[in-house]
Amino acid sequence: SKEKCFKPWSYIPNGIMPIFWRVVYWTSQFLTWILLPFMQSYARSGGFSITGKIKTALIENAIYYGTYLLIFGAFLIYVAVNPNFNLQWNQLQTIGIAAANTWGLFLLVLLLGYGLVEIPRSHWNGAKRGYLLMKTYFKAAKLMTEKADAEENLEDIMEEVRKVSESIKYNHPLRKCVDTILKKCPTEYQERMGRNMDDYEDFDERQNSYPSEKSLVKLHKQVIYSVQRHRRTQVQWQILLEQAFYLEDVAKNETSATRQFVHTFRSQEAENKIIQYFYTPTVEWYWECLLRPWFYRVLAVVLATFSVIVVWSECTFFSTSPVLSLFAVFIQLAEKTYNYIYIEMACFLTIFFLSICVYSTVFRIRVFNYYYLASHHQTDAYSLLFSGMLFCRLTPPLCLNFLGLTHMDATISHTDAQPTAYTSIMGSMKVLSFIADGFYIYYPMLVVILCIATYFSLGTRCLNLLGFQQFMGDSEMTSDLIDEGKELIRREKRKRQRQEEGENRRREWKERYGNRDDSTRNRVVHTDQKESSFSETNTSRPLSKYTRTNGRTERDRIELLQDAEPLDFNADSINDDPLESDSGRYQPGGRYLSMSRSQMFDDV
């Protein structure tokens, strides 16, 4: 049998993988327990300097770090006092690793139980156009409420900023802090506050009460949060509108006799010419209306099959004789034939599916506005760092769970097989027998209960009872929100249609009357030259500047008339302002307007 075992091309020499896993594991532990919590507090701080932000982060994390140090110190004292325990440094290290993996495994099973059911179900529902459209209407109603709340919150914060900006003048010591806050405000609010500022007024410490630096730090933190939330809701609203318009277009094109996909609105983003060449309206119609629903259904069945295999293996991987875990059966069959490529593919697909189920749930979690991963680069720094902490905590127990499913962990398989590089880093869990023989083996069975709860949407129903509106087909509140969202989408659709119609009218007007507007502009410029020469010879020097100003005003008026929407008349020329056309009256610019009635009504 040794002759059949060939050295694979991707073989890694002994001693390399333990070093690799040691670097990966301890780096992730340092990130998740020390660095990332500190960076979270630093990113959320409202300090005006690096030193101030670091000080705030250290104070906020003092309790967080102190709790773990207190527990660890109490454990060391207990071990040192009790004579029955004779623990070495390696055993203490193993206990620390076991504690971290226990917490990670607890979180892993919770997320895995949700993802194993929700991922296949979401793809199956993705084939239902009516379901997706109703859910989009529901999201639109909820997002509009959140958007209005964000706008109201931003207005309140900007009002506080305005009061602070008006009270703290240019020569106040805290004016630099106020300027830093103003830079974080939206542009329109900055311009509005800048017009109302009077920097020539000195401050008086006796008469006015000024905010402290601590209150400015708190205001700075509120400004950063409110501006980011307002921008996120605005972007999400535009994305949701595009999604709703697209789903409505799909519903309309399903009954199209020409079998060509027609969009209600033109795409605002420039499309690739290669994609336009191959992805024609006919191809788009066949994909969106015929092929895509069936593709999603087939994919949902495949994912559901993988989910059933994972659930079965999680409940039976402790059984080594007979081997009931399907992943362990696949690996052992490949070991008998020394098929190294098959072993790599089986391991890759297994851990890839487990990673999708676990990590995709992280992207779906939302804890109010405290933690929320939003698409299109709208996630704040605090949520990104929190997700990084979760990924670092979930990766080691995910690898350990995979080794248990495939019976590669000697602690679970109860064999004398050569331990893997990862197991050698983790150490022997026999130091804590109640964890190695109890928690690690029987706790993953809880995934069955979590899958059943997710299938019947028990979590969604509980949140709905608590007052958090969730999408449920049999709920009266859901129906009301769907109707509200449908009306909001219809309103936005009419608004965009009017905008496109206005742009089309302006474009047609410029194309039709562009040459006539150029000739009109030339005649007006020629008339201005004559009038300016007449004013120079008949007025004094101080009046000449009014003549130039009046000519500039007239040119601005002509440009405004050219940009206006077309009216139903034919104009050969543009005359002066009717308010300035009183007969025989001397104008400030040094001009006399004619009393001829024919010239007054040439444009009518």
At 250-296, the pLDDT tens digits run: 888 888 888 888 888 877 666 677 777 788 888 989 988 889 999 99
The verdict on 113 and 170 lying in the same domain is no
Report the SS3 class of residue 317: coil
Is pLDDT larger for residue 121 or for residue 337? 121
- Report, as an integer, the average pLDDT of 158-184: 88
Q: pTM of the entire structure?
A: 0.74
Q: Which two tokens stand for residue 153?
A: 């919150």
The verdict on 107 and 185 lying in the same domain is no
Q: Is residue 593 part of a domain?
A: no
pLDDT category, 573, cuts 50, 70, 90?
Answer: very low
Of all residues in the chain, the percent with pLDDT exceeding 70 is 76
The verdict on 106 and 76 lying in the same domain is no
Q: Is residue 591 part of a domain?
A: no
Q: Which two tokens stand for residue 502?
A: 């206005």
Domain coverage including residue 78: 33-85
The total of structural domains in the chain comes to: 3
The verdict on 357 and 417 lying in the same domain is yes
The verdict on 394 and 416 lying in the same domain is yes
The verdict on 228 and 315 lying in the same domain is no
Q: Which of 429, 442, 402 has its CA nearest to residue 319?
A: 442
The CA distance from 230 to 148, in Å, is 9
Q: Is residue 169 part of a domain?
A: yes
Q: Is residue 27 part of a domain?
A: no
Q: Is residue 521 part of a domain?
A: no
The verdict on 288 and 358 lying in the same domain is yes
Whose tokens are 């788009």? That residue is 284
Q: Which of 368, 363, 415 has its CA nearest to residue 390?
A: 363
The verdict on 159 and 217 lying in the same domain is yes
The verdict on 188 and 107 lying in the same domain is no
Q: Which segment, 103-112, 235-244, 578-587, is predicted with the most confidence on average? A: 235-244
Q: Is residue 579 part of a domain?
A: no
What pLDDT is stored for residue 284 in this prediction?
Answer: 87
Q: Which two tokens stand for residue 204?
A: 């008086």
Q: Which of 422, 430, 433 has its CA nearest to residue 400?
A: 422
